[in-house]
Amino acid sequence: MHPAIINDFLELVQIDAASLNERAVADAVTAKLKEIGCSVWEDPESARALGGNAGNLYAVLDGGLEGSILFSSHLDRVANGIGIKPVFSDGRIVSRGTILAADDLSGVAAIIDGLRRVKESGEKHSRVEVVFTVCEEKGILGSLHLDYSRIKSKTAYVLDSPGRIGRVINSAPSRVSIAIEIKGRAAHAGNAPEQGINAVAVGARILTSIKEGRIDGESTANFSTFEASGPTNIVTAKAVIVGEARSRNHAKLENYLAELGAVCKKVASETGAEITVDVTHNYRSFLTPESSETIGLIGRVFDDMGIQMKVEPGGGGMDANRLSANGIECVGVATGYAKNHTPDEFLVAEDLVRSGELVQRLISAYSSSIKS
């Protein structure tokens, strides 16, 4: 017989779901939370805004003590997550031909398990808030539409990171998407090329004038699309370049964008092309210092559990970026999965069990830190 957390996990991954189609998983999770004694509220606004069939879930377990602590995971999964058949292999849970969706249903199962353990212990505790977001895998959109006015906690643990238990993610980059539109001028390529402005050549000039790839230790940029086409006898009038840039240091990202703007301006004045740069801010970087109470607390809990803590920077955005931007100090917490987003995804079963214990211990440790 499996522990409850394993059964929950196996049940949840076998419910078909995707970003914006989280309905069935949201219902199953809501039922489990209510059974534990949580009050659960589903935000209809987030579903409406995103066009999904379920909204962010917000649950509270009151425990009679002061203070409030938040746990979060996401309900959706990347593509190829329909018809998952989890099986055990060498202490791991794996799937065959699909993703496993341990990203992030291992986090969901761990939070449910932690709440259940706390409830069953009968101990008094601080208020526990839980946010299960929708549509995390497609631009972290559930937490963009989260109703932050409901959240009282100032410290949060986002159970949504690959790696063995003990790994803590304390930073993630800002990310922007960039679209550069170049308007040149068409002309006959043979008769009067000097009357034309070749948008392809202008675009090439921009790309060779701006740093790309690894910008510095904290920043990257990638231009992935260069669109232009036309017959060879006409000077090409239009081109579009699309890319992204990230930095764990938001100011450095702003500097890079300013540099890109200056390059485009210079190339425009040299060539006569009209160049517009359109930047969309996707999410903002966060950095929770190792000296913070949020990391201090989980460090003490890992010590008690005999687990070595490893604090590392993360390379991608997550719900923690948005929680942090809304004034909630948080970190990402690994639950034992690896190779997520691929059919080789697996979850170390023992790490999952210990992740439930981790949530319970975090609630207890937080509650006694408030008491004293």
Window contacting Zn ion (CB under 5 A); options: 29-37, 104-112, 186-194, 256-264:
104-112
Q: Does 319 interact with Zn ion (rule: CB under 5 A)?
A: no
Task: Give how far the C-alpha of residue 89 lies from the chain's centroid of Cα atoms, to the nearest Å.
Answer: 28
150-189 footprint of Zn ion as x/- string (CB under 5 A) = ----------x-----------------------------
Which residue number, 138 or 250, has a Cβ lying nearer to Zn ion?
Answer: 138
Site string for Zn ion, 114-153 (x = CB under 5 A): ----------------------------------------
Q: Which stretch binds Zn ion (CB under 5 A): 7-15, 101-109, 253-261, 301-309?
A: 101-109
Told to check if 357 binds Zn ion by CB under 5 A, we report no
- Which single residue is written with the structure tokens 């890079």? 256
| Member of 22, 43, 76, 104 binding Zn ion (CB under 5 A) | 104
- Minimum distance, C-beta of residue 170 to Zn ion, in the bound complex (Å): 17
Q: Work out how close the CB of 136 gets to Zn ion at its nearest, in angstroms, rounded to a whole number.
A: 6
Output 196 or 314, the one with its CB closest to Zn ion. Answer: 314
Residue entry with tokens 């100090």: 329
Give CB contacts under 8 A, 24+ apart, made by 348-352. Answer: 348/91, 348/92, 348/164, 348/165, 349/6, 349/88, 349/91, 349/92, 349/93, 350/91, 351/164, 351/165, 352/5, 352/6, 352/9, 352/93, 352/102, 352/106, 352/109, 352/110
Q: How far apart are CA 43 and CA 170, in angstroms?
A: 28
Q: Which is nearer to Zn ion, 230 or 316 (CB)?
A: 316
Smallest gap from residue 8 Cβ to Zn ion (A): 17
351 binds Zn ion (CB under 5 A): no
What is the Cα 315 distance to its own chain's centre? Answer: 10
Burial of 46 (0-12, 13-18, 19+ CB in 10 A): buried
Residue 160 beta carbon to Zn ion: minimum distance, rounded to whole angstroms: 4
* 103 part of the interface to Zn ion, by CB under 5 A: yes
Q: What are phi and psi of 2, to 5 degrees?
A: -85, 155
Cα 110 off chain centre by: 18
Q: Which two tokens stand for residue 87?
A: 């099986």
CB closer to Zn ion, 22 vs 104? 104
Shortest Å distance, C-beta 59 to Zn ion: 19
Measure the N-to-C terminal CA separation of the chain; round to a whole number of Å.
Answer: 39
**Helix/strand/coil for 3:** coil
Check binding of 76 to Zn ion (CB under 5 A).
Answer: no
Instruction: Summarize as ranges the residues that interact with Zn ion (CB under 5 A).
Output: 103-104, 160
